[in-house]
Chains A and B, each alone.
Chain A
Amino acid sequence: MSEEIGPTDAVCPECLKTIHAKKIVENDDVYIVKTCPEHGTWKVKIWSGAEHYKYLYEFAAVPKTPTKRAVGDIKDCPHDCGLCNRHLQHSCVNVVEVTNHCNLNCPVCFATANGCGYDFHPDIETIRGMFQTVVDFVDSPRCVQISGGEPTIRDDLPEIVKMAKDMGIEHIEVNTNGVRIGNDIEYLRKLQQAGVDDFYFQFDGTDDAIYMKTRGRPMFDLKQQAIKNVAEVGGIGITLVVTVVPGVNLDHVGEIIRFAARNTPTVKGVHFQPIFHVGRYPVDPTDDNRVNLPQLAHEIEVQTKGMLKADNFMPTSCSNVHCDMKSLSVVLPDYSLFPLTTMALGPPAKTDDIANKTRKEVSEFWRFIEVSMDGEDETRDKDDHTWNTFIKRAKTHYLTVSAMAFQDVWTGETERWERCCIHVVTLDRKLIPFCLFNTTARDGTTLYRKKTFCQ
């Protein structure tokens, strides 16, 4: 027996044309079923737990179309994106890509950096134009993630960061694999002086066997050195960003969280990104190749022995409620987590300006707070189980554990794209939802990426 829980739209995995799709429940799992009149039908599991899936709609933000948009009325969502008057959420993070070159050659790369058939390494004036797009279309406070490729291969990255700050972009996050900042502390110092607020730090596990599979080389020592360097330089926080792949590192998520806790306050968060499939796929990925958010939350609960429970994860309500989940915990002196978030709190009371709230959170809460802020305090490193100690710890030793289920051509749907709040900046002054930007057909044809950066 299957129950239909909603129509939606999607694109055909073969030809990328807009097609109708539906979501159904079977055996308590939610599937998206896409049918292209020309190329057939695909059915992909997107959620485990039908009642949970439905309940999350109560957490949805009040729809809020961006007031400043590059595109007016559109005929064919998601092909005329930019954003348009059909979009239902503001930007909370804008991604500005500054190169597609990289100093690694990973088997897994959503940006398909290196060997992707085009070269993108814009000059500083072109990058200024992309920042100007953010300033023109997004209200303050603005958060930009500088991404690539690997941004730190650019010697002029400190100059780029400073330019962004001077243009009125309050929060700058650099997406990095950590190779350069682990090897070159003087370069790191220049980034800190230029105003980098945090690193979105690629981190796949605490075992080199994982890195051999995901990055093609051992990297754990280098990752630790990079974290050590960031701690030494000070003033920048780190979010560990983990591409979660079943059979590769899904069974290490608990250890990664414990590693992060041990490395607070420099490490402020762990952000899990279940693998999504872009690029050329001769054989369609199966449900076994994927992990959805409830499955990930369950793994975290099991592997942390209940220290962080699935119920501690809530949707941010900034993106579509089925796109992300987030928890916040205070890290106690024994590095155990004291979660502050729980689904028992219920839906948020106020969601009409959630993107603004999220931008403030990104810029304020995730920012590194100097340990010295509160002066020397000998109780900081021991827990006497008082509220006092708890609060003192909470000021500096907190950890967000979050996840985002990026969509690919198999899982993507309009209902989620139109509520996206993470937008890639294009050269023609548009903002494209991150997942749409990176969507590719089975043969590797991109929906937006190549036509955006191959002008």
Chain B
Amino acid sequence: MEFIIDAAVKEAYEAKGIKDEDIKAVVEGAGKDRIYNGSEFIAKKEIGDMTVYARYKMEGDKATILSAYKHKMKILDIVLVGDDTEWKYCANGAVVKAGHTNLTYLGATRSGPSLVEPESGQSWFEEYLANGALATAEVLFQQKRA
């Protein structure tokens, strides 16, 4: 698989501690375990203590990485299933819903808005939340160790 990664995209994900090989592991290892909205894919993979996401487009064997992000919180169960979204889960073709999923970190469990597929129990978190509230909460907890 060939990867096309813009310098600005690479700089942004490297600043979050994500490496090139993480991106490749997410995209190449996804198979059908990814969601698709007719234009782009989101795939995720647990790497070490992180869940790494790649948002990308495919053209033949070429993957153009649009962005990558991560969170350290561990994904737990779906707690709310809402309306349909534009996304479909490639593994079973089911429509992905808007929902809420529990996340746990250093002993604390709370939920966050997510994309959910109830049949498989899969959840995905979007970039705005991972880079915003989840990252802030992680720092808040971690800084107590500093």
Interfacial residues, chain A to chain B (CB-CB below 8 A): 314, 328, 338, 340-342, 344-346, 348-350, 357, 385-388, 390-391, 394
CB distance from A60 to the nearest CB of B (A): 16
Known A340-B144, A342-B106, A342-B107; further 12 A-B contacts with Cβ < 8 A:
A314-B144, A345-B145, A349-B146, A385-B111, A386-B110, A386-B113, A387-B103, A387-B111, A387-B133, A387-B134, A391-B136, A391-B140
B137 at the A interface (CB under 8 A) = yes
Does A340 contact B140, Cβ atoms closer than 8 Å? yes
Name the CB-closest residue of B to A395. B136
Q: Report how far A307 CA is from B29 CA in the complex, Å.
A: 43
What are 21 A-B pairs with beta-carbon distances under 8 A? A328-B144, A338-B108, A340-B144, A344-B107, A345-B145, A346-B145, A348-B145, A349-B146, A350-B146, A357-B146, A386-B100, A386-B111, A386-B112, A387-B103, A387-B110, A387-B137, A388-B113, A388-B133, A390-B133, A391-B136, A394-B136
* Minimum Cβ distance to chain A for residue B87 (Å): 21
Q: Find out whether the CB atom of A387 lies under 8 angstroms from the CB atom of B144.
A: no
Q: Out of A341, A385, A394, which one reaches B144, CB within 8 Å? A: A341
Contacts of A346 in B (CB 8 A): 145
Determine the residue in chain A with the shortest Cβ distance to B105: A387
Contact: B137 with A390, CB < 8 Å? yes
The residues of A that contact B140 with a CB separation of less than 8 Å are 340, 391, 394
| 5 nearest A-B residue pairs (beta carbon) | A388-B133, A387-B133, A391-B133, A387-B112, A387-B110
Report chain B residues within 8 Å CB of A348: 145-146
A338, A344, A390 — most chain B CB neighbours (10 Å): A390
Candidates B73, B111, B137, B146; contact of A391 at CB < 8 Å: B137
A contact residues around B134 at 8 Å (CB)? 387
| Nearest chain B residue, comparing its CB with the CB of A350 | B146
* Residues in B neighbouring A328, C-beta threshold 8 A: 144
Interface positions of B (Cβ within 8 A of A): 73, 100, 103, 106-108, 110-113, 129, 133-134, 136-137, 140-141, 144-146
User: Given A388-B133, A390-B137, A391-B136 in contact, is the A345-B144 Cβ separation under 8 Å?
Assistant: yes
Contacts of A388 in B (CB 8 A): 112-113, 129, 133
What residue of chain A has the Cβ atom nearest to residue B71's Cβ?
A387
DSSP class of A's interface residues: helix, strand, loop or mixed? mixed
Nearest CB on A from B143, distance (A): 9
- When chains A and B are docked, how far (Å) is the Cα of A340 from the Cα of B136? 13
For A357, what are the chain B residues with a Cβ–Cβ distance below 8 Å? 146
The distance in angstroms between the C-alpha atoms of A385 and B100, with both chains bound, is: 11
Residues of B within 8 A of A314 (CB): 144
- B137: chain A residues within 8 A (beta carbon): 387, 390-391, 394
User: Whole-angstrom distance between the alpha carbons of A427 and B129 in the complex?
Assistant: 54
List chain A residues, Cβ under 8 A from B141: 340
Question: Who on chain A is nearest to B139 by CB?
Answer: A391
B145 / chain A contacts, CB cutoff of 8 Å: 345-346, 348-349
Measured between beta carbons, the chain B residues less than 8 angstroms from A387 are 73, 103, 110-112, 129, 133-134, 137
CB distance from B137 to the nearest CB of A (A): 5
A388 to B134 alpha-carbon distance, docked (Å): 8
- Chain B residues, CB < 8 A from A344: 107
- The residue among A328, A346, A387 with the most chain B CB atoms within 10 A of its own CB is A387
Cβ–Cβ < 8 Å partners of A342 in chain B: 106-107
Residues of B within 8 A of A349 (CB): 145-146
Chain B residues with CB under 8 Å of A386's CB are 100, 110-113, 133
Residue of A nearest to B145 (CB): A345
List of A residues within 8 angstroms of B73 by Cβ: 387
Q: B103: nearest residue on chain A (CB-CB)?
A: A387
Q: How far is the CB of A433 from chain B (nearest CB, A)?
A: 26
Q: How far is the CA of A345 from the CA of B106 in the complex (A)?
A: 9
B113 proximity list for chain A (CB < 8 A): 386, 388
- Cα(A342)–Cα(B106), bound, Å: 10
**Measured between alpha carbons, how far is A149 from B119 in the docked complex, in Å?**
69
Give the chain B neighbours of A338 by CB distance below 8 A.
Answer: 108
Q: Which residue of A lies closest to B144 (CB)?
A: A341
Q: Give the most central of B112, B113, B140, B141: most A CB within 10 Å.
A: B140
Cα distance, A387 to B137, chains bound together (Å): 7
Chain B minimum-CB-distance residue to A326:
B144
**Minimum C-beta distance from B11 to chain A (A):** 26
Query: What CA separation (Å) do A430 and B145 show in the bound complex?
Result: 33
The distance from the CB of B45 to the nearest CB of chain A, in whole angstroms, is: 21
How distant is B71 from chain A, measured CB to nearest CB, in Å? 10
> Of all chain A residues, which has the CB nearest B111?
A386
With both beta carbons as reference points, the residue of chain B lying nearest to A390 in the complex is identified as B110
Identify the closest chain A residue to B79 (Cβ): A385
Whole-angstrom distance between the alpha carbons of A340 and B138 in the complex?
Answer: 11
**B116 shortest CB reach to chain A, Å:** 15
A344 to B103, CA, bound (A): 20
Closest to A341 in B: B144
Q: How far is the CB of B145 from the nearest CB of chain A, in Å?
A: 5
